[in-house]
Amino acid sequence: MFSGFRFLILLTIIPVFGGCSLLGHPSGTIKGEVKSPAPAVERYEGDKSREISYVYTARKELSLTFNGMGDQKTMTALLDELDAHGVKATFFLPGVRVAEEPDIAKAIAARGHEIENNTLNQLDMSTLDYDGIYKEIQLANEVIERETGVKPRYVRTRSGDYPEDVPLAAAHLGMKAVVSYNINPRDRDMQSAEEIGEYVARYMTRGGIISMNTDINPEVVAAVKYIAQAAENIGYRLITLDELVENGGERKPLASIPGYDAAKINPDYHDAAYELVYKARTDRKEVALTFDDFGSDKTVTQILDILEEHDVQVTFFLRAKGVEDNPNLARAMLEGGHDVANHTYSHPVVTTLTPEELQEDVVKAHQVITEAIQEQPVMLFRPPTGVVDDLRAKAIAATGYPIMAMYDVTTLDWDTSNTADDIVNGIMTKTEEGSVILLHMLDGLHTIEALPRVLTGLKDKGYTFVKMADMIEHQSGARERN
């Protein structure tokens, strides 16, 4: 492989590759001819390109990407493994390696994988000026397109980190985005294939971008089967980066979303009115099923799939710190027809906070959830652990959340010692007209095992499921009619 020093020499001595020079000069160029220094590229003054670490989408899709270009043996084995599991991946290739072994790059494209730009020499871009950054990207584009016929649309640095001039240079060159990642199994640490697969399975997300390297740890080849199996187990597809981007959307900034300011800090809270709703007073055989906190994609997706199978809509009270880390999962709840509501940002016992601290937490949660789902959430608030006192309830109400969404049916399913039978029996015994049932979406509980039985059992008793806000509205309408 060319060293960085060697290739710097090649930038002034024009070589010939396959009939034309690496810098795009015609085949008539004499090898060894000294090239006059090109004028420096002026820094781009337009808008920088899009920067992508994950794709905003509720679809069950994510992308497997690779950096660098290993030797022929490694790359052939990797391509064979991807074929064996029906996975189409995205390869960020260094221009120098494509120039050295174009047949490998051509094989990647021929197998139906995506080829993108890993810069020319995989240099540390923070050490380069704008001219150097531009040329690192530009020359890699030229090499890749000449040798493979593929025009790169995305660029990634070797580490995934980059200075602000990289998105500017990418925009200058007409590229779609600078790409990093949000799932990094740290194959540089020479972990085993099983460890790499377990890491990806644990952090797998809708819209996720997995980043691995082809030229460091040979275990990435065997890791493909574990990653493919993890995706299959959760029902997610591994697709190329460009398909993921095209299927996804861009998030509007918070301040442009209607209702982002429906919750505000309000120091005048001492006389604020509030209502604690434990259940609805109704003679209808309807109940509201609710879920608290947040979980992994695997757990929440299983819950969403069960609810869809049974045609049941629920209310999710979200711990917003989890939403902040995985906004796509919150959006998936909304697109499934469910309501999402506020369960604080940091999940404190609210009586341990001052009213001022509590308001900050509630408002922050509102903003995080609003930005994640791209619309105003349902204006219901549920205090963690179900504990709230008069002073804190007034403080919460004054922010814009006057209804404290409590519950009358709980089986402590957050305690793993409570089995699926315990959860089912508790709900079936305690539920009545207007009940609000509390469950949790944390990982490792018996809730998922119990959920289909709960839904079937309550339906068999004649109950219908409504979202909590709708049930409260039904109750209010009944009051007005009376």
pLDDT digits (tens, 9 = 90+) for 394-438: 999 999 999 999 999 999 999 999 999 999 999 999 999 999 999
Q: What angle is formed at CA 265 by the lines to CA 262 and CA 271, rounded to 5 degrees?
A: 95
Name the band, by pLDDT with cuts 50, 70 and 90, for residue 476. Answer: low
pLDDT at 95: 98
Q: Residue 109: is its pLDDT beyond 80?
A: yes
Percentage of the chain beyond pLDDT 70 is 91
pLDDT at 468: 97
Query: One of 292, 297, 361, 413 is an active-site residue; which one?
Result: 292
The DSSP string of 418-468 is S-HHHHHHHHHHH--TTBEEEEE--TT-SHHHHHHHHHHHHHHTT-EE--H
Q: What angle is formed at CA 277 by the lines to CA 274 and CA 281, rounded to 5 degrees?
A: 125
Q: Residue 112: is its pLDDT beyond 60?
A: yes
Across 24-28, 34-38, 242-246, 340-344, least confident range: 24-28
Tokens of 22: 């690496």
Tokens of 371: 């930005």
Domains plus CATH for the chain? 1-37 (no CATH), 51-247 (3.20.20.370), 256-481 (3.20.20.370)
Name the band, by pLDDT with cuts 50, 70 and 90, for residue 36. Answer: low
pLDDT at 37: 67
Name the band, by pLDDT with cuts 50, 70 and 90, for residue 478. Answer: low
Q: Residue 14: is its pLDDT beyond 60?
A: no
Q: How many CA atoms lie within 13 A of 56 on its CB side?
A: 15
pLDDT at 35: 56
Query: One of 113, 343, 440, 446 is an active-site residue; which one?
Result: 440
The DSSP string of 66-93 is EES---HHHHHHHHHHHHHTT---EEEE
Backbone angles phi, psi at 316, to 5 degrees: -100, 120
pLDDT at 383: 98
Q: Residue 24: is its pLDDT beyond 60?
A: no
Q: Which residue has the tokens 């008793």?
A: 461
Q: Residue 480: is its pLDDT beyond 90?
A: no
Q: Catalytic: 440?
A: yes
Name the band, by pLDDT with cuts 50, 70 and 90, for residue 475. Answer: confident
Work out the mean pLDDT of the chain and round it to a whole number. 92
Name the band, by pLDDT with cuts 50, 70 and 90, for residue 250. Answer: confident
Higher pLDDT, 81 or 15: 81
Q: Residue 31: is its pLDDT beyond 60?
A: no
How large is the average pLDDT for residues 290-299? 97
pLDDT in tens, 313-364: 999 999 999 999 999 999 999 999 999 999 999 999 999 999 999 999 999 9
Name the band, by pLDDT with cuts 50, 70 and 90, for residue 477. Answer: low
Q: Catalytic: 446?
A: no
